[in-house]
Every structure is written in structure tokens, then in C-alpha cells.
Amino acid sequence: MKKRIKYTVDQSGVVHLIKKFIERMIYKWEMDLSRSSASVLICCALSRLMELNQ
């Protein structure tokens, strides 16, 4: 029998994971200069949304 492990992630944990994901995406976008301008706008919008959630 497999034990089902129930785990709860609080909102701060989710925000932390989202920030880590965005940091990785920013790093990838910095390597791709052709989309840098669009990525900057997206990152700014996402960072403002996260600030509002906190």
C-alpha cells in the first residue's frame, strides 16, 4: 500500500516558488536578447502582482 502524504503549501511558499520560477525565466530571457524588451515588461508586471499579493 502506498501512503498518501498530504501536504499544505501556505501562500508565502507559493509566492517563493513563483519568484524562483520567474528568476529562472529572467535568466533564460537574458540569454535571448531578441525578446529582452518584451520579457522586461512581463517581469515588471509579474513582480507588481506579487507585491500586491504580499
pLDDT tens column, 10-49: 667 777 888 888 888 878 777 666 566 777 778 788 888 8
pTM: predicted TM-score of the whole model, two decimal places: 0.36
CA pair distance 23, 53, nearest whole angstrom? 18
Q: Please, which pLDDT band fits residue 9 given cuts at 50, 70 and 90?
A: low
**Quick check: 21 and 42 in contact, CB under 8 A?**
no
